[in-house]
Amino acid sequence: GGFGILRLRALLHAAACRGSARWRKVWYQCSSCGRVSGGRWVQAFEESVSDPRRLPGEPGGLALVWPTRGRALQRDTVGRGHYCLEDPSAVPARLLYELQPAAGRQQSVLLHSKMMVGEAALDPGSVVWVYLGSHNFSMAAWGAQQQSQTCRISSWELGVLIVLPAPAVVPLPFQLPAPRYSAADQPWAPGAFYEEVFQANPPPEILERQARTAAAVRGHLSGASSPQLVVGTFVPEQHGSSLSQTAVCRLILDLEDSFTTPYILQSILSDPEVVERINDMGGIWIGDASQPSTHIGAVLQYLEASGSVDMSPPVLLGTCSLPGCHGVLVERVFTA
């Protein structure tokens, strides 16, 4: 085979025939998994990159180095938008290892590189061969073998395979070996962004947490004009709406997460029409449901500076330091 996975398999088998060192595990770090499933294609790919000299029944040892959802959603993480994974549940759990940048590299930056290394069987940490290129872990990039022994490929890719004369420690952008995912870890995927920001499918523990927060905030604000507290989801259309003579303004309360609030500040509140709408309604009600936050200060500073919105009480109900409270919406109805 001259292209794709058939070409890579042919080169690796040729290296083994020439007497290269044996490799035990194949570490694959990339930024897109396409429509990966646990079916025949993954098995065929693993078989293609595994050492052909391994004993019968010995596992191939393919390891996918991929960021966890928790790591991708950390406050200072950069590069989460470069990743593509349509269905995290379709990736076999046995393949998943956590992406951790190598020592000396910026720990907050998620890698956009695509590389594969064969780790030496008798010298852990050293590698026998290195692949560098543009191929992500997908059938479109590497191709799928047809019954006619041809390879059907859907995208143009280019890569270089380097077989070392002897196992050696080479500089890699990620830690080797990478730690295996824990039982609680989930692979990062764009869908997690929408779930985290817009809470499209909040898990039961989140709903319970929201209910506790709503009760606590109601008690804290019971003597302050009795605002209506609404537990619910945050979607783009809810940043403000006008209904005849009544306007409704909502803002998410959970300023602890360091992910949702910056998103609101940088996108939704950067829309001049939204700022004007907030100003027309006489301000916005904000509460901090966990702890003092730089994000709430940034929101207030932005609204005052860019929107000329009066942020002084009682338009703003200060901040509420309520430990253990997260993720509710405050809704205040302004009547013209």
Catalytic residues: 112
Contact 162, 199 (CB under 8 A): no
As a whole number of angstroms, the longest Cα–Cα distance in the chain is 83
Q: Beta 96-98 vs 62-66: how paired, if at all? A: parallel
Q: Pairing state of beta strands 241-243 and 159-168? A: unpaired
Residue type, 119: E
Residue 280 structure tokens? 């027309």
Residue 57's contacts (CB-CB under 8 Å, 6 or more residues apart) are: none
Q: Is there a cis peptide before residue 323, judged by omega within 30 degrees of 0? A: no
Interacting residues of 279 by C-beta distance below 8 A, sequence separation 6+: 307, 308, 309
Q: What dihedral angle (degrees, nearest 10) is formed by the CA atoms of 8, 13, 15, 16?
A: 150
Among 99, 93, 90, 49, residue whose Cα is nearest residue 71 = 99
222 C-beta neighbours (distance < 10 Å), count: 9
CA distances to 156, 169, 235 from 133, in Å: 11, 20, 39
Supply the DSSP symbol for 238. Answer: G
Q: Residue 266 gets which letter from DSSP?
A: H
Residue 129 and residue 12 in contact, taking contact as beta carbons nearer than 8 Å: yes
114 among annotated binding-site residues: yes
Binding-site residue positions for substrate: 114
Binding-site residue positions: 114
